Structure 1
Amino acid sequence: MHSTLKKIFFYGLATLAASVSSAAVNINTASESELTALPGVGPAKAKAIVAYRKQHGNFKTVDELKNVKGIGEGIFSKLRNEATVAAPVKKAAQPAVKK
């Protein structure tokens, strides 16, 4: 593959990876319905996550999900890469372009 094409290919992969990682569900702020977007999490587990969060406060790490009733190692391994406790990074405002 030509080196320019390689650069374009890898830039595309990096962009795709960034967009996928930015779609992570914040388990500290997500509603029950938003939590059901996580693999292996249905309405009952989403309710348990919210209840745990209310009782114990915000999750310090995603690994803490294993303390929620109904989330074992199997389900955790499916959702760990799609859950986050980090606040989303806000982009700096860009000045309006005048025409």
Structure 2
Amino acid sequence: MKKFLHVMICVLLLGFFAAPGFAQDLVNINTATVQELTSLPGIGPVTAAKIVEYREAHPFATVEEIQEVKGIGPAKYETIKDRVTVGQTKEAKE
């Protein structure tokens, strides 16, 4: 019983410390480089450049707004929506 308890504690601790390593970082579409944007599934250099061009004209207020970029349709949006954020834009801070 004591050995079983020891093993269970070890398993729980390993799971606790390993979990952050498996979490994927969110990509801020208002600040990400083309290279960072291409880390998203289905986003190549051309689409990443279009995202940067779009946000330079007007920063994204919501994640959903990325669908305004040519090449980001509903299917691609569904693939990336949980991996992106807009962070806090300059306008939101004021």
> Aligned-pair distance for 1:25?
0.9
Structure showing the higher helix proportion among its residues: 2
Q: TM-score scaled to structure 1, two decimals?
A: 0.67
Worse-superposed segment, 78-87 or 1-10: 1-10
Counterpart Cα distance in 1 of 2:20 and 2:44: 30
> Aligned-pair distance for 1:6?
7.6
How many residues are paired up?
83
Mapped pair 1:38 → 2:43: no
Q: Unpaired runs of 5+ in structure 1? A: 88-99
Partner residue, 2:92 = none
Q: TM-score scaled to structure 2, two decimals?
A: 0.70
Give the ranges of 4+ consecutive aligned residues of structure 1 lying more than 3 Å apart after TM superposition: 1-17
Partner residue, 1:74 = 75
> Aligned-pair distance for 1:16?
4.8
Q: Unpaired runs of 5+ in structure 2? A: 89-94
Which SS does the other structure have where 2:82 is aligned?
Answer: coil
Counterpart Cα distance in 1 of 2:20 and 2:79: 23
